[in-house]
Amino acid sequence: MKHWKPTEEQKHQWEEKGFFIERNVVPEDTAFDMRGVIKNELLKPEPSGNPNADPMDPMGDTPEARALRFRKLGNFCVESPLIWHTFHTGREMLAMARYFLGNDIIVKFNSVFVKPAKTGSATPWHQDNGLWRDGETEPFNAWMALDPATRQNGCMQFIPGSHKGEIVQHVLYEDSIHGELPRDLVKARIEQCGIEHIEANPGDVVCWHSSLWHYSPPNPSPNSRIAIAGVWTNPEINAGRVRPLHRWGMKNGEICTAFPPEAVQIENGKPHQLGPFPKASQIKQ
């Protein structure tokens, strides 16, 4: 298994800005193959992976309309051997995750961000660990573009350096699709630190710290912006947390190649119960 080390520039970006980009992690052709698996799934009457409706749904019942129904498939990648073996337990990705996490690696989350052409909605400003609410700050997050991700079709935006602060209480507004960072704090942070637009080609990967403030805008363009994401952690960081979706990615430096992926069994762990996010109007920051 090959070892991976960040370049000096990536190291600096990780520490100072909270993210770095690794280009061409898989060839464009492979990225398009993975995208095809997702496009095929989206056309099914009831796609797998806990589909999360786009706020614009319902859009109709033609194949074209069905392709636009969802903003996210929350746990689909465990059902696609191509995506799982290439990305979540791919050699290149696990080599990067191993640099941060060591020889035993758990895949904590997997998701597909669909952001369909013309109707794809925004993902609100958030910190990943602000949504997880499990106190984990150290896991390794990565996201791979399967379509070109550009400013036109809603590429991600990061506030550089925002990973250095604490985990902020996420809240709900009338129009929130899920918990988000308080909008007045986001506005102030952007005025102070600016925004970086993360444009990426199919097969490029962006890695970020779980506390980084990030967002993606709606997609008014004629092109979809499909991407896959993962969160990798290790048994020490994850100790005592029971989540039914956790799978083994690497044991003792060896990639776990089972399919379906092997679930992580944690003895004596307490199930992680999450209540609703508070309303923004109830919270004084």
Ligand X SMILES: O=C(O)CCC(=O)C(=O)O
Binding site for ligand X (CB under 6 A): 113, 115, 123, 128, 143, 156, 214, 216, 227, 229
Within 8 A by CB and 6+ apart from 203, the residues are: 23, 24, 25, 26, 27, 28, 30, 31, 144, 145
Q: How far is the CB of 77 from ligand X (least distance, A)?
A: 12
Nearest to ligand X of 108, 214 (CB atom): 214
Q: How far is the CB of 10 from ligand X (least distance, A)?
A: 19
Nearest to ligand X of 73, 104 (CB atom): 73
Tokens of 30: 């492979």
Nearest to ligand X of 87, 143 (CB atom): 143
Nearest to ligand X of 80, 110 (CB atom): 110
Q: State whether residue 43 is helix, strand or coil.
A: coil
Question: Within a 10 A sphere around the Cβ of 117, how many other Cβ atoms?
Answer: 16
Q: How far is the CB of 92 from ligand X (least distance, A)?
A: 18
Nearest to ligand X of 22, 128 (CB atom): 128
Q: How far is the CB of 224 from ligand X (least distance, A)?
A: 12
Nearest to ligand X of 71, 247 (CB atom): 71
Q: How far is the CB of 165 from ligand X (least distance, A)?
A: 17
Rounded Cα distance between 204 and 97, Å, is 15
Q: Of 37, 211, 62, 86, nearest to 139 (Cα)?
A: 211
Q: How far is the CB of 123 from ligand X (least distance, A)?
A: 4
Question: Within a 10 A sphere around the Cβ of 81, how many other Cβ atoms?
Answer: 14
Q: Of 187, 52, 202, nearest to 123 (Cα)?
A: 52
Rounded Cα distance between 194 and 164, Å, is 15
